[in-house]
Amino acid sequence: MNARAIEHPARKEAAHLLIVDDDSRIRALLARYLTMQGYRITTAASAADAKSRMQSLAFDLLVLDVMMPGGNGISLARDVRQGEACASVPIIFLTAKGGVEDRIEGLEAGGDDYLAKPFDPRELTLRIAALLRRSRENGIVVTEDGVVHFGGFHFDLAHGDLRCGDKRVALAEREREMLRLLAGARGDVVTRHALAACGTPCNERSVDVQINRLRRKLEYDPAEPAYLITARGTGYRLALDG
């Protein structure tokens, strides 16, 4: 593994990360590598251990293994989001389960990103830096009850309910799943490939058709979108309130 730093935070302002994994080798590897990137690191071997540490320490980001004995990362994330101490802290899941349904479950539980094992530690470092940057720049993007806000719209990640003010906006099932991915990405680009794989799989050309349908429901002028933004050659992103 290359130990060259990718992006050092300033030492006096170093973000404090909690790494939760039942595998002692992974904990040690990530602790050593992320410390070299300039972060302050605390580790925990279980969900119970993590909860204990969160009672006495403040964290800027959590890295959670999904599959752990005695309480998995998904249930831990739900507990975190329902609490007070770390309710709005970014969460990255690490897991060997990388299917669409698994990613959606993680997002619904309050996760911000999902990295499948095996992974390159450099990619994890970049994802951590991106989440911390957005967290600092945007303030609250998603409320503690899991509602995403953009323009006059409010989208409930868990229930897939979209409203404009008090009025419910009807969504087809595929539109709902695509909006879940876009909203869960918190302003980052979601590739056409990922959008094509959500819900009932389709081809990438169909994604553009579905996006156009969503724009007709969300945009004042679908030809000049303010919320569903095209990332040329890559995919789409949802512009959130920051």
Tens-digit pLDDT string for the chain (242 aa) = 333 333 444 334 578 999 999 889 999 999 999 998 888 899 999 888 998 888 888 888 999 988 877 778 888 888 887 765 566 788 898 887 766 777 777 777 778 888 888 888 888 888 888 888 766 644 334 444 578 888 888 888 878 889 998 899 998 888 888 898 888 777 778 888 888 877 666 777 788 888 999 999 998 888 888 889 898 878 898 887 65
CATH number, residue 191: 1.10.10.10
The structure's pTM equals 0.53
What is the number of structural domains in the chain?
2
- Asked if residue 175 belongs to a domain, the reply is yes
- Asked if residue 1 belongs to a domain, the reply is no
Judge whether 128 and 92 are in contact, CB under 8 Å. Answer: yes
Distance of CA 226 to the CA centre of its chain: 22
Question: Do 176 and 92 share a domain, yes or no?
Answer: no
Cα separation, 65 vs 72, whole angstroms = 7
Task: From 95, 112, 138, give the residue that closes a domain.
Answer: 138
Judge whether 148 and 155 are in contact, CB under 8 Å. Answer: yes
Q: What is the pLDDT of residue 20?
A: 93
Report the chain's terminal Cα–Cα distance, integer Å. Answer: 36
Instruction: State the alpha helices, DSSP H only, in 10-85.
Output: 24-36, 47-56, 73-82
Nearest to 64 by CA among 97, 20, 126: 20
Cα separation, 121 vs 172, whole angstroms = 38
Per DSSP, the three-state class of 218 is helix
Question: Do 31 and 125 share a domain, yes or no?
Answer: yes
Cα separation, 38 vs 27, whole angstroms = 16
Q: What is the pLDDT of residue 9?
A: 44
- Asked if residue 6 belongs to a domain, the reply is no
Question: Do 60 and 93 share a domain, yes or no?
Answer: yes
- Asked if residue 229 belongs to a domain, the reply is yes
Domain that holds residue 85: 11-138
Question: Do 101 and 151 share a domain, yes or no?
Answer: no
Strands, E assignment, the chain: 16-20, 40-44, 61-65, 91-95, 113-116, 147-150, 153-156, 161-164, 167-169, 190-191, 228-231, 235-238
Task: From 79, 112, 138, give the residue that closes a domain.
Answer: 138
- Asked if residue 213 belongs to a domain, the reply is yes
Per DSSP, the three-state class of 165 is coil
Per DSSP, the three-state class of 178 is helix
Q: What is the pLDDT of residue 150?
A: 83
Q: What is the pLDDT of residue 211?
A: 92
Judge whether 235 and 227 are in contact, CB under 8 Å. Answer: no
Question: Do 159 and 112 share a domain, yes or no?
Answer: no
Task: From 109, 138, 167, give the residue that closes a domain.
Answer: 138
Question: Do 100 and 31 share a domain, yes or no?
Answer: yes
Question: Do 88 and 132 share a domain, yes or no?
Answer: yes
Question: Do 109 and 166 share a domain, yes or no?
Answer: no
CA dihedral 75, 196, 207, 236 (to 10 degrees): 60
Give per-residue pLDDT as tens, 72-109: 888 888 888 776 556 678 889 888 776 677 777 777 77
Question: Do 127 and 19 share a domain, yes or no?
Answer: yes
